[in-house]
Amino acid sequence: MNKKTKFNLLYSMIRMRMVEERISSEYSNQQMRCPVHLSVGQEAISSGICLNLKDKDQVFSAHRSHFHYLAKGGNLKQMISELFGKETGCAGGKGGSMHLIDIKAGLIAAVPIVGSTIPIGVGLAWANKLNRSNKVVVIFFGEGATEEGVFYESINFAALHNLPILFVCENNYYSVYSNIKNRQPTNRKISNVSKSMGVESYRMNGNKVEEIFTKTQKMIHSIRKNNKPILIELSTYRVLEHCGPNNDDHLNYRNKKELKRWLNNCPIEKYKEHLLKQKVLSNEELKKVYQKIDKEISQSFDFAKKSKFPKKDKLFKYIYAD
């Protein structure tokens, strides 16, 4: 792997983290008045995967969508404006954090009904195959979404029709406050289920960005070439509360040891040290990275704050296209 790629992976993760840290710190000003599901801790997955995608490839997300949006090249100003409910937002303020979209960048949709983008992504991949467009569709979802029946209906169809899709299950072991052991039998692996249903499937460490990048590079290549779906299940951890800007570990729903282990397993810190040691970048360059991103973020927040709210005439606009 070349230095540039390594740098890009780190840069992507740091940028994501800093964007959400800013959202977190500004949220209490009560100007971003919409539910936000922050992904801090899960940076490696979307960074590692999306760097392998072409512009024309298409990504679907769900309620926890910021990183997928950013990794696929979604416009930051429009994202922050959307959180502020402004007309310059990526959905004109109509969607909020749970409905990010940047069609040009290939972030096709995010919706907060758990599991609901999965069949839609499959449908688009089907269209792509029929259109011979050689695009890959990537569908991100949590382990909670694999409890919805529509997940299986979708997997079955993708396998039946050999559709070019990468299914990405970010298993962070929690659905809201509920541990996976209260929702799925212990010792069973989601990737084994999908494999038994006819989809090539793998498990992976979700906090190791290089490994994710390298492995999914091959997979995406294979999907594009062979028109066959692959599913990957990645273990990871959400650091902040399920919904909202804060930390909620005072609620004690997560085992202290488990929490500590995962917090020590930060995908960014380890990788940063590694790259510094490997001299991929210097401490100085790193500082510049932070400064650059910080500036970009500040500009985006300024842009959002200065933008206008949509006016009354927009209320009934776009209910129908015809």
Partner 1 sequence: MQTKIKNKNRNINYAEAINEALLQSMKLDKKVVVMGLGVDDPKRIFGTTNNLFEVFGKDRVFDMPTSENAITGFAIGMSLGKFKPVLCHQRVEFALLTMDQIINQAAKWFYMNNGQMNVPIVIRLIIGRGWGQGPQHSQSLENLFAGIPGLKVVSPSSAYDAKGMLISSIADKDPVIFFEHRWLHSTYSQVPNKFYKIPIGKSKIAKKGKDVTIVSSSYMTIESMKASEILKNYYIDAEVVDLRTLRPLDVNPIIKSVNKTKKLLVVDNGWTQYGISSEVITKVTTHKNFDKNIIVSRVGIADTPIPSTRSLAKLCYPDCVDICMQISKILNKNFSGLSSRFKNYRASDTPNKYFTGPF
Ligand X SMILES: Cc1ncc(C[n+]2csc(CCOP(=O)(O)OP(=O)(O)O)c2C)c(N)n1
Q: Which residues bind its own copies (CB under 8 A)?
A: 147-153, 156, 159-160, 183-185, 187-188, 192-193, 195-198
Q: How far apart are CA 131 and CA 218, in angstroms?
A: 23
Residue 249 one-letter amino acid: D
Q: Are strands 58-61 and 137-142 parallel, antiparallel or unpaired?
A: parallel
Q: Which residues contact 9 (CB under 8 A, 6 or more apart)?
A: 47, 48, 51, 209, 210, 213, 271
- Give the shortest CB-272-to-ligand X separation in angstroms: 24
318 is a contact residue toward partner 1 (CB under 8 A): yes
| Contact set for ligand X, span 199-258 (CB under 6 A) | 242
Judged by CB, which is closer to Mg ion: 48, or 144?
A: 144
Sheet containing 137-142: which strands, arranged edge to edge? 107-110, 58-61, 137-142, 165-171, 230-235, 200-205
Question: Which residue's Cβ lies closest to Mg ion?
Answer: 142
> In the structure encoding, which two tokens stand for residue 61, read together?
């997300």
Strand runs (DSSP E) across 29-163, as ranges?
A: 58-61, 107-110, 137-142
Binds ligand X by CB under 6 A, chosen from 12, 52, 175, 300 = 175
Nearest to 166 by CA among 67, 19, 50: 50
> In the structure encoding, which two tokens stand for residue 180, read together?
């996976």
Q: Quick one: which segment of 137-145, 215-223, 263-271, 309-317 binds Mg ion (CB under 5 A)?
A: 137-145
172 is a contact residue toward ligand X (CB under 6 A): yes
- Give the shortest CB-187-to-its own copies separation in angstroms: 8
Contact of 36 with 97, CB cutoff 8 Å: yes
Beta bridge partners of 202: 232
- Give the shortest CB-321-to-Mg ion separation in angstroms: 35
1 is a contact residue toward partner 1 (CB under 8 A): no
Q: How far apart are CA 94 and CA 96, in angstroms?
A: 6
Binds partner 1 by CB under 8 A, chosen from 105, 111, 169, 232 = 111
149 is a contact residue toward ligand X (CB under 6 A): no
Judged by CB, which is closer to ligand X: 106, or 144?
A: 144
Binds Mg ion by CB under 5 A, chosen from 41, 48, 112, 142 = 142
176 binds, among partner 1, Mg ion, its own copies, none (CB under 5 to 8 A by kind): partner 1
| Contact set for partner 1, span 166-195 (CB under 8 A) | 175-178, 182-184
- Give the shortest CB-289-to-its own copies separation in angstroms: 44
Contact of 124 with 131, CB cutoff 8 Å: no
> Under the rule (CB under 6 A), what is the footprint of ligand X?
63-64, 112-114, 141-145, 172, 174-176, 242
